[in-house]
Each structure stands twice: as structure tokens, then as C-alpha cells.
Structure 1
Amino acid sequence: MLQSSLSRQAMVLDEVRTIIWESDPTGQQLTNATGCCTALLGCNADDWYRPGYWQSRIHADDRDSVLIEFQENIRRHQDHRLEFRMIRVDDSVVWVENAIKVIVDNGDVVAMRGALVDITDRKRLEHELRQSQKMEAVGRLAGGIAHDFNNVLTVISTYAELMHGRLDVTDENLRFVEAISTAADRATSLTHQLLVFSRKSLHHKEFLDLNKIVSESESLLRRVIGEDIVLITQLAGELGKIRTDKTHLEQVILNLALNARDAMPSGGRLTLTTREVEIEIGSDELAPGRYAELTVADDGVGMDSDSMLHCFEPFFTTKPIGSGAGLGLSVSYGVVSEAGGSIRVDSELGTGTTFGILLPIVDSPDTQLTASTPSLDNQARVVVLVEDEPGVRKVARMALEVNGFSVLEAESGPAALQFAAQPLLAIDLLVTDLVMPGMSGQELSRNFRKQIPNLPVLFISGFGQSTELGVSVENPLDSFLQKPFTANKLIEAVNAAITDT
């Protein structure tokens, strides 16, 4: 009976990866050890009884601080807990918690007892949570910066376009205006990437076949990675549909391929693999269910642990100055997260890098409809323009008036409501910023429609449509225009919004 009970106890300790131990007063020599003595470090059970063995397996970076605290608590006769890393026989790292009780008799330490528990999984989850929280905070910062810059770029781009239209083709100032427009376009590309990372960009989601996306990308990838790199694709026989922005997903694949190319300056192998994965137990990042997995693996120089820790952060790069903005992986992180998936990296210096992407498989409809937008005569069209940023409001009004619209402008939602209460104005369209202090664009549109039920609305924003912001354009009377925009893009969006109604 006793033997059976001890066997069950040993089995339980092994399953929870715990060692119950006793030692001499110094803690150097274990006198008893029960539990996962072999499984924890991969050593022989008898090794634990060697003097100083467990201390010798403490990670070099932790050893001094752990032993100092250990000896200090013995001196104080104080029970304590220590968390530290240990090195297994195969040189892999395991996190442990050592809960220690100091046994005292007549004022002297006579023994030590404790439980050494494997907490590697807990530490991994804590790290993933911290990383997720950090990326969320960086994303909010990046999105806010991009939003502010998009307001500035809207003013620059629109004025440049209006000025361009007033100059003769022979005017020597034309080249300066074109240079301004080109610089604004480059800046717009950067802010767009920041918004993608922060998951506040405009996404055109559609149902996609991951295998088809990878296959269609092959010819482009072969051109950009060079002839000294062998491209291999290993596609699953059949995958369910995923739902995300096609252009953004293609950009993710290209970003990862370019990173792999740079990691293989002397050539190598780049392998893209797809398969279906079933997640049975969910996590903070992924819900249980079916996922399509894409892995992108190279046999290049690899990354160290610090680079893996920071590689998805905006502007982090190990490349020389001028060789990249450090946004490729952060954009990829944003695209995958927006699609409800996850992206991970496994790498080791000298052996290569593997990126793994999981995207949820969803049910797709059989057909998707598209519509075209005709042009119209703008004369006598009345537009209410609501924008809290003075520079954007001024240049948007100018662009609308130059194109024949009558404009009623307001700097806030409450200020604009006066126009809704005047039926003689015959308002054709409400153009409003989505995110404004006091009253959002969506709230303003609802108030307008109480007076003008079928009024079309064009939302503009330095952010994109985002469920995180509580912002999405779902009403068929609603349209959306991403900042920064030019005069031509604004007029096209206004015409389309009015025509669709």
C-alpha cells in the first residue's frame, strides 16, 4: 500500500515537473530528491546527490545573484522563493522556481527542504503577454504619429496639386511643385506603413486562397531574391479560405522574402510552406479553430535572441544605415494581427530563420459584387465640410470650391448641426472627419440624418477604418477617404459619394 502511494506521488511530481528535495544545512549536498530528477535537466537521478551539482547547473548569468540571496536567507533563517534559469544536459535552458524552507533547531540551521518547479511554460506566457502589451503600446504611438502627419501631408499634397494646375507647362516653377508632390508621396508611403503596423489603416478584406497567393507571388519573388537563391514552395493539397487584404498579404510575403535575401548574401535556399493547423487550446493571440499556416524559412545568417525580441518593432533594423527603414516586419506584424492571426520567429545564429504565420480559416460566400462610379456635374452641389484641423479644412474647402461645389464649413460636430436644421440649404453631402473632439463623425452623421434621412456621408481620417477605434463604414450611404489625399482624390470621392445615392 505504501509503495503504491509513493509510486503515485512520484508519477504526479513527474507530470508537474517538480522535484521535492532535502539538503544539508549549507544547501550544497542534497540528502533526498524525489520527482522529475531525470526529466528536468536530462541528467541521471544520482547526479543530484553530488555536492554542489544543482548550483553548477544554474545559468551563468543568474548564478552569482541566486547563490548570494540563497546564502543570505540561510543566514537569516528565512524561508524564500527564487526564480532562475538552469542549463540542461543538452544545453537548452529551463526556468525554475525554488521554494525553500530553512529548518532551524535550537537557533541553528539543521537542514533545508524545498520544491524545485519547472516554470518554463509560465515564463514563456509572461514574456508573450509583455511583448503583446509592448507592441500594442508602440502601435498606438505609431498610429497617433501617422494620423498627425497625415493631416500635415494632406495640406502639402493638396496645395501642391492646386498650384500645379495653375502653372503653365513651360513655367520653371513647375519642377519645384512636382518635387514637393514626390516628397509628399514618399512620406505618405511611410505613414501608411505605420498605420498598417498599428492596425489603423484602411483594409479591403476579401476571401482568399493562401496557396493561390503564394503561387502568384513566385515569379515576383524569383526576380527580387536573385539567381543565387533557390526558391522552393511546398503547398498543402487543399486549404480553407482566409479573409484579409490581398495587397497587404502579398506585401507580407515580399517583406519576408526580402529579409531572407539579405540574410543570404552568398546565396542559399528560401522555402515557403503552407498547411492547415488545428488549434485546440486558445491563447491571448489565437482562438481555438482551424488555421492556414505559412512558413517562410531561409538558411542564412540567422538572428540572435535580442534581435528576435525586437524584430517586430517599428524602425528596428540590423541593416546598415540607408539600407531600409526597419518597417518591413512591423508592417507584417500589423497585417497578420488585423487578420486575426499571429506571426512568430524562430532563429539561431548561423543556422537560418523561420517565420511562421497563422491565419484563421473562415467560411466564404460564393460571390462578391463590385460597383462602378460615374462622374457628375458639380454645379449647385452643396457640401457641409466638418474638420477640426484648420489647415486641412481650409485646403479641402479650396479644392471643393475650385471644382464648383458650394461649401459650408465647421470646425466641430456641434458647430455643424446648425446647417442640418436649415432645410432651405438643400445639402447634398456631409464630408466629416471621423475622429474629432466632442462629437465623432459617426455621431454627427446620425444627427444629420435625423433631419435629412438619406444624406450621403463621406468620412475622412488620418486613421483608417478600424474596429479598434469603433470606426467602420457599414451604412451603404457612407463612404471613406483616407488621409492624406490630393484635390483630385477628394473630388473623386465626393462625386462617388453623391452619385451612389
Structure 2
Amino acid sequence: MRRKIFLSLSILLALFALGMLVSFLYTKTFFVVTFALTSLIAVLIARYLINAIIYPVEELLKATRAVASGNFNYKMSYQDKTEFGEIAGSFNDMIAVLRDSNESIKNQQQQIVDNEWKFRILSEFAHDWEYWITEKGEILFISPSCERITGYTRDEFIKDPDIRNRIVYLQDKDLWESHVADFKPPRHEEEIEFRIVTKSGEIKWLSHVCAPIYENDVFLGRRVSNRDITDRKRLEEQLMHSQRLESIGTLAGGIAHDFNNILTAITGYGHILKMKAKEDNPSKAYIEQILASAERAADLTQSLLVFSRKQTSSPEPVKLKGIIENVKRVLQRLVGENIELRTEISGEELIAMADSDQIEQVLVNLCTNARDAMPEGGVLAIRMKRVSGDKMHKAIGREQEALSIEHGKGYAEISIIDTGTGMDEKTRERIFDPFFTTKEVGKGTGLGLSMVYGIIKQHYGHISVESEEGKGTIFRIYLPLTEIAVSKDIRAAEEAKAITGGAETILLAEDEETVRKLTRVVLEEYGYTVIEAGDGQEAISKFMENKDRIDLFLSDIIMPRMNGREAYERIKKIKPKLKVLFASGYPSDFTHKNEILVAGLDFIAKPVSPDNLLKKVREVLDKS
């Protein structure tokens, strides 16, 4: 505005000076007229200059300052048909274009900010270790998860990208170097699996996926994603161990089946010789030795069945002291000479409702672990004593488990104590988890202690562990006690009863010839009439020929052509009230055994002594 006033005054002064000059040259009257006209012309000229030049220039100046300050909504109000008016219109159009461009730029900038925020959130919380690397080996980006997986920070990788090569496990170096040899691979993802050694020395498995980055056919580098698959690899390895164990178990079960058939013949004929021998016969002592050896062999087959995990749980009143004594005999050969084995058992006879085979399996598993924890030797102790429910409640200390303890009930506390390497707290928390193991690959499946835990729970018992690194481990097992008489004592009393025979006719179906002949001899010795069949199909044929006189169907379960259960179902349709007794020594038959017992039918397990067979046959025949 000051410029505008200054310019106007300058023009007026110039005109005034011109007027003074003219008045000096002419007369005074003429001077007055001339001065007045000159002043009027000067005012008109000044007004024109202000409106035509100064005002539009000033408006344009305001507009440029407004746009320069970022006000893209400013609009010049000046309008006329002169060049200034055209400039004002063009300027307004330009501002409109700039305004639209500025809005677009702002939107794009906001989108970039949003995308950057999203990318940062994703990268910071990404579980996989991601990075981008140039052909020169420069890392342009790396996710924070690199530290969780490798132990090295982002800054360490960016400062020294070669860390990614150095951490590769020695045995996987060739695979890695072959993979990175050609830095410009084809335009598709490549995936390899290899191990690394973390900063702390831990070995981890990685699934490594990478692909080239191109822009307009220009190679920029590689994008890489590394996933920690250590747990998956461990589970795969444990699964393979479990499958191998299952195969061994199946083999053990098959061996047990063959053993049972052989032992049935040995014990059967041995018992016949014993029955026929007179009391003063010197051979009777040898026969008893044969039968004792056969009984030990039968125990061996039971151990094989326990190992194969195909022995069903059969809880009965058992003396725990006897179980520990049996385990001790096995352990003396198992633990080695550098480990001292001790047993400390109270004088009181403790009886529990338990499956003796499974409890033996529990003790053997725990003692085997104790042995493995003492590679340099040590002391392994097994202790047993009676404790009250109240004392056990305090010993357990875990709220949920303590709730199921009967305070007034007696419990047997069996402790397995070793002086081995012990465990840290983290290991103790997972010790009973399936597939968890601290042993080297190939030396453990991680199933032993989980199986121990399951067996103890099935027996309504409890198990606890105390351990400290370098100070050994104590496992404590608590089993509820019972006042019921021991089953073996009951069986001994039953065995003392006289054996009686009969005159009934028995249809015998057995595919093993030696067992079939033995069974026939035993049954005929006691007055029974026996009709033999080598399989289920033959049994049906023999039944059709003699159906009116057959009183009992004695059958093996698994046989060629047709199994015993199927043969019985067909026979039952013809003679519904026919009595049946199934027998088997094969582990997988125990599934059928459960079905048979549920159906109210009778079953006897091989190997079976002639006395027990005769008593069971008489029992079934005498049922109403």
C-alpha cells in the first residue's frame, strides 16, 4: 500500500512541476487555468495507474504469497478484460490444479505413512525371521525376530551380514553353500531345510525360503524368510522312534504268541508226567525243574507283552514287596557294575490293587532313567513304606491332585532315588509330557515317563519328582492299599482243590497241532470225549456232523480260514444254548477278550496248565 501512495505522489509532483514551468512561461491567468487542468489530468492519470496497474499487481502479489504459505484455497477476485484479468484467471486455474495435486500428494504421503506403519507392525511381530539382502551382501532390512531365533540382534546382522553364513551348522555347510552359490536364481521360490548354531550354542532347524527381487527386469537382491522348525523336526524324529518301537512291539507280541504255544505244550506234558509219576519217583524232581523253568519262560513272555504295550490292565490284590523283589532281579543285570543297587523295604506286607506287570514296567522305566543319569556310576535305591493319606497330602502339595487323596486311607510310598546329574526346574515341569526327552537322538522316545504317569493315574495313585542339577533325583509313587486277600493266595487255595473230570463231549478248535494234541490228551485223561478241528471252518463242519452230542465249544480265537469268534456265532444260530470257552496267547486277541467278557462268555489265557484248563472247563460246563 505504501508503494502505491508513494507512486501516486511521485506522479502528482511531476505534474505539478510541469505546471509550474508552464506558468512561468505564460501569464498569471493562463497559469491558473493551466495548473488546474494539469492537476485534474494528473489525478485522472494517477487513478488510472492505480486501477489498471498497481491494484492488479498488488492482488497478484497477495495471491502468490498465499500460495507460497500453502493456502491452495485462495482465489484472486480481480477480474477485467485486460491482460491482468487474463493473468488473474490463469492464476486461479493454476491454484486449482496445484490444490488438486497437493491433495493427491497428501493422500499418497498418508498412504505411505500408513503402509510403513503396517509394515513395521508386521515385521516387529512376525514370528519368522525375514530379511532382504543385496547382491553385494548388504542387508537392507531384517525383522526383529532374528534375535529370538538366532540370538543375534538386527544391528549385529546389519553390521556383519556374514553372520548368516557363519551360524550354519557344520554338517549343513555344503547344502547352504550350494544354495547361495548362484545369487541370481530363477524367478521362483527356493526352499531348503538346514540347521544353525545360535549365539548361545543351541542347535535349531530352519525352513529357509528365498526368492529374487526384480524391478523392471533389474535384479535388486533376495528376499528371505526363515522359520524355526526345530519342534517339528523333533516331533518327526520322535514319531519315527515311536513307529520303530511299535514295530519292535509287534515283533515282541508275535514272539510271545509262539512262546505261549510252545510253553503250553511243555507245561502241559510236564504236568501230565508229574501227575502220573509216583511220589518216590526220582524223575519227579526233574519234572518240577522243567515246570519251574517253563513258568519263568512264561514270565518272560509277559514281559514281552508289557514291552509291546499289548498286555491289558488286570488289577488285582498284589504284594508290592514281591513286585520290587522281581524288579530287583532284573535290575541287577540292567544297571551295570558301576552302580550300587540298594533296596530298603519295611517289614510290613503292603498289598495294593494293581496290575503287577504294569507296576513292574513303571519301576523298570524309572530305574532305567536313573541308570542313564549316572554314566559315571553312583547309587540307585528303591525304598517302600506305608504312609497315611494326610502325610501324602502334605507331600504332594499340588492342589488339584491333593483333592483326590483319601485322608483316612493308607498308601504305599515307593521311592526311586539316584545320585545322578539331576534336572533343572524347566525340565522338571515337562518331565511327564509325551515325547519330551533330554536324551540324545536315538536314545529315547520321550514316552517312558508319560507312560509311567498314565499307569499310576490308572491305578488311582500319584507320582511326584524332586530334583536339582548335580544333586540327583527322587521319584515318589503313591499307591492306595487294600485289605483284600492277595489273588495269588486265592488261586493257590483254588489249585489245592481236587480236579474233577466229566463225560461230556467237547468240540476243540485249535490251529496249533501240538497244543491241540496236548489239550485232547488232558481232556480225555479226565473222561471227556474230544472232537478235533484245525480251524473255524472245520469246526463248523464237525459241529454239523455231531451237533446233538456236543456240550462245549473250546476254541482258539485267531485261526486260519475262519476265527473262533466267527465260528461260534454261526454255531450259536443252530444251537443257541451251546456253552463256549475261548483261549488265546496272542496280544492282539485281548481286544476280542474284552468283547467276549462283555458278552458274558468265558476266556482263558495261554499258556495254561492242564489243572487250570480242567478246572475252567468244569466251571463252564457246570454253569446253569
Which TM-score applies when normalising by structure 2? Answer: 0.58
| Residue aligned with 1:47, SS | helix
Q: Which residue of 2 aligns with 1:251?
A: 360
Q: Which residue of 1 aligns with 2:307?
A: 197
Change (3 A) 1:230 1:41: farther
Q: Which residue of 1 aligns with 2:67?
A: none
| Residue aligned with 2:260, SS | helix
- Alpha-carbon distance in structure 2 between the residues aligned to 1:470 and 1:74: 66
- Alpha-carbon distance in structure 2 between the residues aligned to 1:112 and 1:413: 69
1:204-224: CA deviation from partner (whole Å, max 9, x where unpaired):
258x9xxxx999999999999
Change (3 A) 1:77 1:477: closer
TM-superposed CA distance for 1:136, in Å, is: 2.5
One-letter amino acid of the counterpart of residue 365, structure 2: L
Q: Does 1:17 align with 2:127?
A: yes
Q: Which residue of 2 aligns with 1:36?
A: 145
TM-superposed CA distance for 1:53, in Å, is: 0.6
- Alpha-carbon distance in structure 2 between the residues aligned to 1:464 and 1:67: 52
2:444 aligned residue (309, 315, 319): 309
Q: Does 1:386 align with 2:509?
A: yes
The answer on whether the counterparts of 2:524 and 2:530 sit within 8 Å (CA) in structure 1 is yes
Q: Which residue of 1 aligns with 2:275?
A: 165
- Alpha-carbon distance in structure 1 between the residues aligned to 2:222 and 2:140: 10
In structure 1, the gaps of 5 or more residues are 232-243, 279-293, 313-328, 358-369
| Residue aligned with 1:473, SS | helix
Q: Which residue of 1 aligns with 2:78?
A: none
Q: Which residue of 2 aligns with 1:154?
A: 264
- Alpha-carbon distance in structure 1 between the residues aligned to 2:472 and 2:191: 38
Q: Does 1:136 align with 2:246?
A: yes
Change (3 A) 1:304 1:74: farther
Change (3 A) 1:494 1:468: closer
Q: Which residue of 2 aligns with 1:125?
A: 235
Q: Which has the higher strand share?
A: 1
1:229-250: CA deviation from partner (whole Å, max 9, x where unpaired):
899xxxxxxxxxxxx9632342
Change (3 A) 1:229 1:184: closer
1:37-82: CA deviation from partner (whole Å, max 9, x where unpaired):
2222233221222131122222233233322333257577874211
Change (3 A) 1:422 1:73: farther
The answer on whether the counterparts of 1:477 and 1:497 sit within 8 Å (CA) in structure 2 is no
Q: Which residue of 2 aligns with 1:450?
A: 573
Quote the RMSD (CA, aligned, Å): 4.9
Correspondence 1:249-328 to 2 at 5 A? 249-260=358-369, 262-263=371-372, 264=374, 265-267=377-379, 300=420, 304-306=439-441, 308-309=443-444
| Residue aligned with 2:607, SS | coil
One-letter amino acid of the counterpart of residue 300, structure 1: G
1:61-113: CA deviation from partner (whole Å, max 9, x where unpaired):
32333223332575778742111222333333332111011347899965221
One-letter amino acid of the counterpart of residue 140, structure 2: T
- Alpha-carbon distance in structure 2 between the residues aligned to 1:485 and 1:330: 33
Change (3 A) 1:330 1:469: farther
One-letter amino acid of the counterpart of residue 439, structure 1: M
The answer on whether the counterparts of 1:73 and 1:80 sit within 8 Å (CA) in structure 2 is no
TM-superposed CA distance for 1:379, in Å, is: 1.9
Change (3 A) 1:262 1:168: farther
1:408-431: CA deviation from partner (whole Å, max 9, x where unpaired):
111111111134335764333211
Change (3 A) 1:376 1:170: closer
| Residue aligned with 2:503, SS | coil
Which TM-score applies when normalising by structure 1? Answer: 0.70
1:355-406: CA deviation from partner (whole Å, max 9, x where unpaired):
999xxxxxxxxxxxx9998977422122211001111111111111122222
Change (3 A) 1:395 1:218: closer
Change (3 A) 1:306 1:121: closer
| Residue aligned with 1:204, SS | coil
TM-superposed CA distance for 1:433, in Å, is: 0.7
| Residue aligned with 1:472, SS | helix
| Residue aligned with 2:501, SS | coil
Change (3 A) 1:253 1:336: closer
| Residue aligned with 1:421, SS | helix
Q: Which residue of 2 aligns with 1:90?
A: 200
One-letter amino acid of the counterpart of residue 456, structure 1: K
Change (3 A) 1:35 1:438: farther
TM-superposed CA distance for 1:338, in Å, is: 13
Give the count of matched residue pairs: 438
| Residue aligned with 2:443, SS | helix
Change (3 A) 1:417 1:102: same
Q: Which residue of 2 aligns with 1:482?
A: 605
One-letter amino acid of the counterpart of residue 608, structure 2: F
Q: Which residue of 1 aligns with 2:519?
A: 396
Q: Which residue of 2 aligns with 1:115?
A: 225
Change (3 A) 1:128 1:481: same
Q: Which has the higher helix share?
A: 2
The answer on whether the counterparts of 1:197 and 1:333 sit within 8 Å (CA) in structure 2 is no
The answer on whether the counterparts of 1:17 and 1:36 sit within 8 Å (CA) in structure 2 is yes
Moved more, 94-103 or 465-474: 465-474
- Alpha-carbon distance in structure 1 between the residues aligned to 2:581 and 2:399: 40
TM-superposed CA distance for 1:311, in Å, is: 8.3
Change (3 A) 1:54 1:215: farther
- Alpha-carbon distance in structure 1 between the residues aligned to 2:470 and 2:442: 14
- Alpha-carbon distance in structure 1 between the residues aligned to 2:162 and 2:182: 17
Q: Which residue of 1 aligns with 2:286?
A: 176
Q: Which has the higher contact order (CA 8 A, sep 6+)?
A: 1
- Alpha-carbon distance in structure 2 between the residues aligned to 1:177 and 1:376: 20
| Residue aligned with 1:498, SS | helix
One-letter amino acid of the counterpart of residue 379, structure 2: G
